Structure formats: C-alpha cells, structure tokens
Structure 1
Amino acid sequence: MPSYNAPVEDTLFLLNDVLGFHDHSHLPRFSEATPDVVEAILKEGAKFCEEQLQPLNQIGDHEGCTRHDDGRVTTPKGFKEAYDAFCEAGWGSLAIPEQYGGQNLPASLAVVLNEFMCSANMAFAMYPGLTQGAIAALLEHASDEFKDTYLPKMTTGEWTGTMNLTEPHCGTDLGLLRTKAVPQGDGSYKISGTKIFISAGEHDLSDNIVHLVLARIEGAPAGTKGISLFLVPKKRLDADGNPAEDNGVSCGSIEEKMGIHGNATCVMNYDEATGWLIGEENKGLRAMFVMMNEARLGVAIQGVSQSEVAYQNAVAYAKDRIQGRSLTGPKAPDKPADPIIVHPDVRRVLMTIRSFNEAARALYIHTAIKGDISHVSEDEAERQAADDFMGLMTPVLKGVLTDKGFDYSVMAQQMFGGHGYISEWGMEQFVRDARIAMIYEGANGIQALDLVGRKLPANGGRAIQAFFKEVGGFLKEHGDNEDLQGFTKPLKKGLDDLQAATMWLMQNGMANPDNAGAASTDYMHLMGLVGMGYMWAKIAVVAQAKLEEGAGDKEEMLKNKLTLGTFYMERLMPETGAQLARLSTGAQTMMSLPEEAF
C-alpha cells in the first residue's frame, strides 16, 4: 500500500540552480556530468527505484533473510533479481574510476541515487552501499595488485563488500578488539575472531563477498595503535582470479532486529581465514576511516530517505482522509467532513517534515560536492577547504539528519492515527527502519563528541572559521535585500548563536572536558539547524531571482519553495536560541547527581 516517487525535479533544481554543480565542469569527473547526463541518470535511477525496489520493501520486511544449516543466507523474494538488474544497469559503477570498469562520474551523483534507493528500499540499498564504501577504502589504501584483482568485480557488482569492526565486547572503543592476525611468511595472515552486527555479511546476491576486517597482528601494541586492516574474501581465488574454495569465513547467525529485515545483519566467524594486509601495519583505523566516513554520509542520507518516503505517504493520506471540519468553515461542503489537511496542526506537521527534507537534501548534496572537489581539484587550497568542510559536516549530517529523520518519520506516522500502527500501511516500517540510522556507524552521541572534541579544534579551528566566513559572506552579500529579510535575519541570529556556542566551548570545554561532553549534542543540532538554514537562504536567493525574471511553468514550484523556507525560518530556526541556552549551562548539574540516585 505505501508508495514512493523520487524527488527528481527538486534534486535537479538543487544541482543545477542552487549548489552550482555544473560550475565545476572544468574538473575531472564533473566534465562528463553534463546537465543532460545528470538528468538522464536521475530520471532512470528514479524509475528503477520506484518500479523495482519499492515493491519489494514490505516483502523484505515481512520475509527477512534466512540462514540455512550450512551457513548460507538467502535474501527475501525478489531481491536477487532486483540486484541483478541493478548490476546490469551499471548503477554501482557511477563514481568508480574507468580503469576498474567504472563511469568516473562525481560521487555526489551516486549519493543522490542512494537517497532514492533508500527511500524505496533501505534494506536492499545497504548491499551495494557497503560495497561502495569498501571500494573507497581499497582505492585509497590497497596495492595496485589488490585493486586490479578485486575492484573490477566489485564495480560490476559480481562481488560485494563489507566492513567488520564491532566485536561482542567492543563497539566504539575499537582499541579493545581481540580478532587476531598471524603472519604466514608468504605475505598472508590467518585471521581468527568473531565480529557482530555485520551488515550484508552473508547473502546470495553475489559470487563472492570481500570482507574488510580490523584485527591485531600478534605482538602489535595494545589499543588503537595496534590495529591493522585486512582483506578477507569469503572465497579464495584460483589461479585465474575466480572464486574457488571457502576461506574459513562463516555466518554464525543472523540478528533478530527491529527493522531493515531484508538486510542480513550477521555474526561473522573467522576461523584461520586467509587475509591480506591493506595499507600499513598498525594503521588500520586510518584506512577503515575512509570506509566509515563514506558510510556515515550514507547513513545520514538514510535518515532523510525515511523522512521523505514517510512524508509522501502522510501527505497522500492527509489529502484523502476526511475527519472533522475546518476551523474556518467547511472546505468540502459536498462531503460529510473535510480532508484533514485543512487543519493547521496537520499542516504544521507536514510542513515541518518537508522543510527539513528539502534543506537536509541540499546540505548533504552540498557536502558531497565538496567531497568530490577535495579529490579532483587541481588547486591545493580549494582541495583543503573542501576537505575541511567535509570533515566538519560529516558528524553533523550523520547525527542531525538521522535524529530528525527518525523524529519526522514518527510524526508522519502520527498522521495516520491508528492506521499508522498497522503494518499494511507501511508507516511503522519506515519508523523501525529509520531507528537504526541513529545507532550504527557511530551512535549519534559519538558523532557529537567527534564534532566538539576533534573537528572543531582541528588545525586551530580552521574548518569552523571557514564555515563562519562562508555563511557570513553570504549574509553580507544579501543582507540588504528587503525581499530576503525573512531568510537573512533568522540565519544571522542562528549564526550568532552558533558563534557564541563555539566561543563558550573554547572557554569552558578545555577547562573542564565534561562541559564539552555535556554541550556536544546541543551544539551538533545547533550547527545542523544553521547549516540547513543556510541552504534555505541559498534556495530563496535563487527562487526570488527566477521569479523576478519570469519563471514560467516553474512559478508555482518556486513560490512553494519560498513558503516552505519561510516556515523553516519561522518555526525551526528559533530553536538555536534554546540550544545555546541549554549548552551554556555546562556540566555541573548533569554530573552532580550521584550514580546511586539514577
């Protein structure tokens, strides 16, 4: 019963008109991504997601994955056929270098397609999504031999990838991991240990699964300084490079979990499996962080994706469900009641969700474009500035977009009343699926700590000062435009609050680290609000200019953008003041309650 329509036109508006995607056409990767190519990719990708992935979403949720007695795992009905179609169309190759069979297009396009896929079927999207992250890690840290051997098959989707970090006794604190690696004298290692919560750890979609596994070489230093990264295939390759014998890698069980049932979340056992070192000894976290950062952006998008699909279905229901009469008189006098969309509180909910969705989409695309620039620009200063922005925003995107993505999926469910609690409508699945995004790839409290403890002080605060300068420059350029005062004034207040919060952290966080910890989540959400407010202000500048020029058949869309942006500025941006007030109280009260009193 649920439906989904990919927001292609909204996304093209952001890429073409607001975020300057085509301003970078002189750069590698961007040069081939002409407006016609981009539009064709998004429209065809949307069609694939709507027609092939979305119909499998509830099927995957109801059936889940099955582990058989021999350790094999089968995915839900239709997943294998959909995956084969995904591979045949080349969707997984968009951003991979040509030398490995890819299309060498900007990664930001693959990121957008990922939103469409996750909205249509989040559990399915995780299989190729994890492969993309593994490819990114191998591209940066593997030897040419391993790249040539593994990347072409991973690019086509014939082989998939995973990341193996978590163990039963350790999650975020990876310094405690026990999986061991024993050198064999021929350049390989024997990997032994157990990993848990491994998404897509075992399945029937591909011929081989390339596991990237964190382990400790015998004699390595304790803690995170002694962790290395290994490539451990499910099946070893024969002399011709084809999957052959099993490699001591097995799925011990599948987790029974709250959502994303169509994705196999596995306990993985490594019983002297043969693995090969990726990168340097004891430098595994640095290599794995490439994949983790890719995954964190992907998880941020999962938050937006569930909020988007939940919103779409809530709107359809609100327009159809009749209940009560408008407070200002009947709007459907020919019916026994009005559709609930006439009620102000229903509109408050729907506009809250949509104003978040559109701003969040703009912010993650803006960040993804910066990520592309950091890799392909020939200007060192431009690369550094883009990398700084990406590093600063990654924990904000992961934390804020998944926190709010879940909140707004719940709000959309509420539109259905009791029907929202019934599985056939699909809303409760969106809520369950959205919940995991707040937890994995670093729980959101960890993202907040990463932001205030690492990203803010990095390089003397260079990244946050550049962000202040960017938003401040925008305000200086447009602050005198009377038609934009509804955007620039709230954005200026939000920026002032963020700068005040940053100064408070500088003055109080180092003196007492608990102050930084106590402030971290509010600070993260404050920055998220300002970042999304900045996006709405950029959208408003473009929309206003186009309306003044004469927008033709786009007039209604542009006016709607201005209305939604104004709603965001009126209703959501004022929360920056509350966040500043909260975080400025420090940690004293929070830390004064004795443990026994909890």
Structure 2
Amino acid sequence: MSSYRAPLSDMRFVLFDVLGAEALFARLGFTDATRDIVDAVLEEGARFTETVLAPLNRGGDATGCSYDPATGTVTTPPGFKEAYAQYVDGGWAGLVSPVELGGQGLPQAAGVPLKEMIDAANLAWGNFPLLSHGATEALLHHGAPWQQEAFLKPIIAGRWTGTMCLTEPQCGTDLGLLKTRAEPQPDGSHAITGTKIFITAGEHDFTDNIVHLVLARLPDAPAGSKGISLFIVPKTKVGRDGAMGARNAVRCGALEHKMGIHGSATCVMNFDGAQGWLIGAPNKGLAAMFTMMNTARLAVGLQGLGLADRAWQNALRYARERLQMRALSGAKFPDKPADPIIVHPDVRRMLLTQKALVEGGRALGYHAALLVDIVGHGADAAEREQADALLGFLTPIVKACLTEWGVECTYHALQCFGGHGYIAEHGMEQLARDARITTLYEGTTGIQALDLMGRKIMQSQGAGLRVFLQMIEDFCRANAGSPALAEFVEPLRAKAAEWQALTMTIGQRAVADADEVGAAAYDYLFYSGYVALAYWWARSVAAADASAHPEAFKDAKRQTARFYFARLLPRTLAHKAAIESGGGSLLALEADRFDA
C-alpha cells in the first residue's frame, strides 16, 4: 500500500526561497498571509491530507461510487462524505476566497500547496472541491450581485458544491456543436434542456445542493461558439432571495465506468426543462467558461504534480529497501546478501528523472499561481497586464507538461517496483491509472499545444513568451559572473535564444501554410516546457546557495539540476528536430490510406 507525506520542506523552499512569496504577498495587500500563517496552513494541510484523505485513497479506488437508477442518486465511497465534512469544518473550502463573501482571503499561491497535497493524498476525493473552485471563479468574475449572494456564498462556505457542465455526446472540444437549449421564462429564468457527459461531481452525497454551471443556447443564438450562454442550474431550485425551493429538473442519468479515479463521480447529467439563471450577457458564455477552464487547467496541472510526487516518494523508499544483485562496480553493502536497487544506474535514472520533474515542476506550477495573485491584486496596471500575458502563456504548459510528466513519473515509479508495481498491493498501479486522466480532462495535451501555439504565440504575437524570455535574460545577466552558476547560466541563455529563433521559424512557415501551426504545436509545447524547467532549476540552485538550508539540501539541488541539464534538457533536441522537419510527413498520407 502506498503512503504519502507532504513535502513541506520543498514546498516552503519553492514558495519562500525561490519565489519570494512572503514579500510579494505583503506588496499585493495580503496582510494576513505572513510566513507564520502560511506555515500553519501547510502544517495543518499536511495533517489533514496525510491522516484523513490518504488512508481513503485505496478503498475509494476499490469501492468506487455507486449509482441508484431508481432515484438518480450517487453514493460516494466509505469515508469520503465524512472527510468532506472535516474539510468544511476546517475552513479549507474558502481558504483563498474573498473575505466579503465568507472566505479567508488568502492568496491563491498560499492555497496551491494544499491543492497539491490533496491531489497526492487522494486525487478522486480532490475532484469534488476542485470543480467548486472553478465555479467560484466564474461567479466571482461574471455573476450578478444577487447570484453571488445566493449561490457563491454557500459554495465558498462548503455547504454546496459546483460543477462545470460543458461536454455533450457530440461536442467536446468544439463547443460550437453543443445542442443544450435555454428557453426564456416569464420570471426571468430559463428552462434548460439537454444532456451533458463527463461531469465531475455532477451528483454525490456530500451536500444538499449542487450548483451546475451549464453552457446552452438561447433560441435566437447565432451559430457556433458565438452563440453560447452560461447558466446557473442548481440541483434544488434557488430564488433571487436565496431561498431554496423544490427539486429542479436535473438528474444524474448514469455513472461513467473509468480506467481510474473510481472514487470520483463522473456523471451523465440530464436537464429536462430545469430552472436556470443566465450568468452575464446573452451569447457571452465563452468568456465565463474560459474563466472556469483556465482555473481548472492550472489545478489539473497540480494534480499531475501531486501524483508524481507521491509515486516518487514510494519508489525512493522501495529502492532503498529492495535488495537485488550487486552494483556493477562492486558490493556497496557487503554486510547484506545483495545491494539495494538504488545503487543501480538505471534505477537512479528513473528516480532522478522523477525528482527533477517533480521539484522543478513545483516551481513552475507555484509561479503560475503567484501570477494569478498579481493579475488580481497588483497595484500597477502594467504589472498586471504583463503578468496576465505570462499567465496565459504558461497555463497550457503547466497543464500539459505537469500532467504528462505525472504519467511519466508514475510509470517510472511502477517500473522501480518491477512486478510488485504491477499488482495492486503497493498502490503504484492505481497512481498510474489515476494519472492518465489528467492529460485528458480540461483539454487534452493536444488541445493545450494548439492553445499555446495558436492563441498564445500566433494570435497574441508571443506576448507572454517575450516576458518569460526577459525573465531568463535578467537572471542570466544578474549571474553572469558567478562561477557557481556558470554551468547553468550559459546553457540556459543559449536555449532561450534558440527558443526565440524556433518560434520565429514556425511563425514564418505558418504565413505560407496554416497547418504548420498544428504540425509544430506538440513539439513546441514540450520544447517550451523543458526550457522553462531549466530556468526554474537554475533559479533553484541560486536560491538554495543563498538560503540557510543545510549543505546536504543545497548539494541535492545542485546535483539534481546537473542531472536535469545533462539528461532531460537534451530532450529539446528531438523536439526541435521534429519542428524543423515541417508538417509534410504528417500530412502527406491520405486519410483513406492509413489502413492500406
């Protein structure tokens, strides 16, 4: 059975030593987010996730959620509902929500470590509050005052949960194809009719009410994505005065049978003239949807990080304990019948790959959360604009890379266990199964690649990339004379120049052939992710050297950074070669000849 301990030391290192979060929180006006307060949040979050959520992970996978077709109700695995009650009693539901709406008002970046802990401890359980956070952001930015009072406050308090109802059987990424209808009613509400699929936490037994945010079309809506509106559709009707009424005409029609996250309720939701309230202006639902989606994409990136960290912890423990053969260079533990497998180079390759991707990915993901705080609370308009451009650029990288690296790390961990990883006893196969979904929901890896290349580079003319490249240049210039950082600074500077040139090459090709954007997108995404991680590893070494951490900690950071630059950053060479080959080989074979 796998175990989990929150990596508090590295979380603190990233937040305070690498990112300087304490000073930034103060500058942004988060006067309560002192280091003492954040430390207390981390400690208590670790206790809750390690002792309450983690023990439920394996049982939740084995039991799963159950569905009663007679009533349309869903029962979550044993202990899940009680854990949610503890979550609410602990004040976690409103940790980063505004005080005026009942939250605790801490910055997003202070809540990110808790999110990582929850996902590592019990990903399936963590999906229930995850969607509430997305609904909170949509209502916070787009909801009318009465909607915030009637719907948002109970979600922030944890008394209700939220969902995102976007996908339909014929409509996934292409929302312009959705068919759900919204008919205006005399009381100002709308009757919502249609079917949504893959709805996380669409039905459960945690709370009395569930607030569904549903994309639908008005009768006079224009075709395509320009004709989408967003509606609040509660499980139990709620009036403008906040009073709860009768059961609404929305019902869970089935539970999906899935590869992993069995403890998470993934529902088919049927709306049969259900009462809904329009959020924002008619036909402008896409903007509110992207508010939810971008929030969820960053959150799902953290899911990949959390699973990777838990898998790595268990693989490291096993590699230190498992005795098999002798080291090729001679016995390292002659007093034992064999050496632990951590002495073997290939096992070290897998362990160091996990360590490098987890610890570097933590800096990447936490930095994105800090940008959310700057966008929302920065005093300077130019600073907010720059942070917003960088956040938009980094969001698909965080989502796609952290989740794909999560899959890689969980499989490396399983491989470290050998056959013992494939069986259920040690919990590695569950982590590998659970990790797979993170690359799919809230936009597949391919969709993230198209978003990065098409919208964040081509349409936005690389505004966010320019900000990131300037960050790299500033760091390299500031440390140009440092002998301790020379081994990282020069390769990083060279990669930044190559990144810029590669981007221009793709842009020039796309002028002649738009398909070049799609052909380059996947490799460009990962090229970008590996260079971004190189920057954060160089920053981490510099921060460790300047910190009061023990020498062993500093040495581990430096040695892991060396491994990253020597063994993982060269992956960019393959991605660069693929990009430079162009789209010809991808598009030459006719569709009807694939099976020829």
Structure 2 length as normaliser, TM-score? 0.98
Contact 1:22 1:30 in 2 (8 A): no
How far is the alpha carbon of 1:26 from its aligned partner? 3.5
Match of 2:44 in 1: 44
Match of 1:65 in 2: 65
Match of 2:155 in 1: 154
**Amino acid of the residue matched to residue 556 of structure 1?**
A
How far is the alpha carbon of 1:239 from its aligned partner? 8.6
Match of 2:283 in 1: 282
Q: Secondary structure at the match of 1:578?
A: helix
Match of 1:568 in 2: 564
Residues 1:253 and 2:254 aligned together: yes
Once the two structures are superposed, what CA deviation does each residue of 1:363-418 show, in whole Å capped at 9, x if it has no partner? 11011101100000110000001111110000111111111110111111001111
**Amino acid of the residue matched to residue 87 of structure 1?**
V
Greater shift, 581-590 or 265-274, is seen at 581-590
Contact 1:497 1:580 in 2 (8 A): no
Identify if the C-alpha distance between structure 1 residues 243 and 332 changes in structure 2 by more than 3 Å, giving closer, same or farther.
Answer: farther
Q: Secondary structure at the match of 1:91?
A: coil
Q: Secondary structure at the match of 2:217?
A: strand
Taking the aligned partners of 2:489 and 2:425, their CA distance within structure 1 comes to: 44
Contact 1:299 1:437 in 2 (8 A): yes
Contact 1:487 1:540 in 2 (8 A): no
Identify if the C-alpha distance between structure 1 residues 239 and 196 changes in structure 2 by more than 3 Å, giving closer, same or farther.
Answer: closer
Contact 2:28 2:374 in 1 (8 A): no
Match of 1:26 in 2: 26
Q: Gaps spanning 5+ residues in structure 2: where?
A: none
How far is the alpha carbon of 1:597 from its aligned partner? 2.5
Q: Secondary structure at the match of 2:31?
A: helix
Once the two structures are superposed, what CA deviation does each residue of 1:278-334 show, in whole Å capped at 9, x if it has no partner? 011000011111010000001111111111111111111111110000111112212
Taking the aligned partners of 1:567 and 1:43, their CA distance within structure 2 comes to: 31
Contact 2:233 2:276 in 1 (8 A): yes
1:409-448 matches, within 5 Å, as 409-448=410-449
Greater shift, 24-33 or 204-213, is seen at 24-33
Match of 1:405 in 2: 406
Match of 1:499 in 2: 500
Q: Secondary structure at the match of 2:485?
A: helix
Taking the aligned partners of 1:29 and 1:319, their CA distance within structure 2 comes to: 46
Match of 2:302 in 1: 301
**Amino acid of the residue matched to residue 171 of structure 1?**
G
Contact 1:42 1:113 in 2 (8 A): yes
Once the two structures are superposed, what CA deviation does each residue of 1:449-492 show, in whole Å capped at 9, x if it has no partner? 01110011344332211211111121111122121122112212
Greater shift, 101-110 or 482-491, is seen at 482-491
Identical amino acids, percent of aligned pairs: 49
How far is the alpha carbon of 1:358 from its aligned partner? 0.4
1:147-296 matches, within 5 Å, as 147-237=148-238, 241-296=242-297
Once the two structures are superposed, what CA deviation does each residue of 1:113-134 show, in whole Å capped at 9, x if it has no partner? 1110000000101101110110
How far is the alpha carbon of 1:20 from its aligned partner? 1.3
Taking the aligned partners of 1:277 and 1:346, their CA distance within structure 2 comes to: 55
Greater shift, 485-494 or 463-472, is seen at 485-494
Taking the aligned partners of 2:173 and 2:460, their CA distance within structure 1 comes to: 24
Match of 1:558 in 2: 554
Match of 1:596 in 2: 592
Match of 1:139 in 2: 140
Taking the aligned partners of 2:460 and 2:405, their CA distance within structure 1 comes to: 30
Q: Secondary structure at the match of 1:204?
A: coil
Q: Secondary structure at the match of 2:436?
A: helix
Contact 1:159 1:206 in 2 (8 A): yes
Greater shift, 322-331 or 223-232, is seen at 322-331
Q: Secondary structure at the match of 2:461?
A: helix
Contact 1:494 1:573 in 2 (8 A): no
Contact 1:29 1:104 in 2 (8 A): no
Corresponding pairs, count:
593
Taking the aligned partners of 1:219 and 1:78, their CA distance within structure 2 comes to: 47
**Amino acid of the residue matched to residue 208 of structure 1?**
N
Taking the aligned partners of 1:358 and 1:163, their CA distance within structure 2 comes to: 31
Match of 1:331 in 2: 332
Contact 2:360 2:533 in 1 (8 A): yes
Contact 2:424 2:430 in 1 (8 A): yes
**Amino acid of the residue matched to residue 579 of structure 1?**
H
Q: Secondary structure at the match of 1:229?
A: strand
Taking the aligned partners of 1:487 and 1:467, their CA distance within structure 2 comes to: 17
Once the two structures are superposed, what CA deviation does each residue of 1:159-203 show, in whole Å capped at 9, x if it has no partner? 000000000011000000000000002210000000000000000
Residue among 560, 576, 579 paired with 2:575: 579
Q: Secondary structure at the match of 1:457?
A: helix
**Amino acid of the residue matched to residue 14 of structure 2?**
L
**Amino acid of the residue matched to residue 502 of structure 1?**
T
Contact 1:255 1:267 in 2 (8 A): yes
Contact 2:25 2:107 in 1 (8 A): no
How far is the alpha carbon of 1:238 from its aligned partner? 6.4
Contact 1:498 1:580 in 2 (8 A): no
Taking the aligned partners of 2:372 and 2:315, their CA distance within structure 1 comes to: 33
Greater shift, 497-506 or 454-463, is seen at 454-463
Contact 1:208 1:243 in 2 (8 A): no
Taking the aligned partners of 2:26 and 2:158, their CA distance within structure 1 comes to: 30
| Pairwise CA RMSD | 1.2
Once the two structures are superposed, what CA deviation does each residue of 1:21-49 show, in whole Å capped at 9, x if it has no partner? 12224344532110100111011101100
Greater shift, 465-474 or 294-303, is seen at 465-474
**Amino acid of the residue matched to residue 430 of structure 2?**
Q
Contact 2:390 2:463 in 1 (8 A): no
Contact 1:491 1:533 in 2 (8 A): yes
Taking the aligned partners of 2:28 and 2:397, their CA distance within structure 1 comes to: 28
Match of 2:471 in 1: 470
How far is the alpha carbon of 1:91 from its aligned partner? 0.8
Once the two structures are superposed, what CA deviation does each residue of 1:219-250 show, in whole Å capped at 9, x if it has no partner? 21110010000000000136973544210010
Match of 2:12 in 1: 12
Taking the aligned partners of 1:169 and 1:478, their CA distance within structure 2 comes to: 53
Residues 1:319 and 2:320 aligned together: yes
How far is the alpha carbon of 1:335 from its aligned partner? 1.6
**Amino acid of the residue matched to residue 554 of structure 2?**
L
Greater shift, 505-514 or 531-540, is seen at 505-514
Structure 1 length as normaliser, TM-score? 0.97
Taking the aligned partners of 2:330 and 2:153, their CA distance within structure 1 comes to: 64
Taking the aligned partners of 2:239 and 2:588, their CA distance within structure 1 comes to: 62
**Amino acid of the residue matched to residue 113 of structure 2?**
V
Q: Secondary structure at the match of 2:511?
A: coil
Q: Secondary structure at the match of 2:484?
A: helix
Contact 2:326 2:339 in 1 (8 A): yes
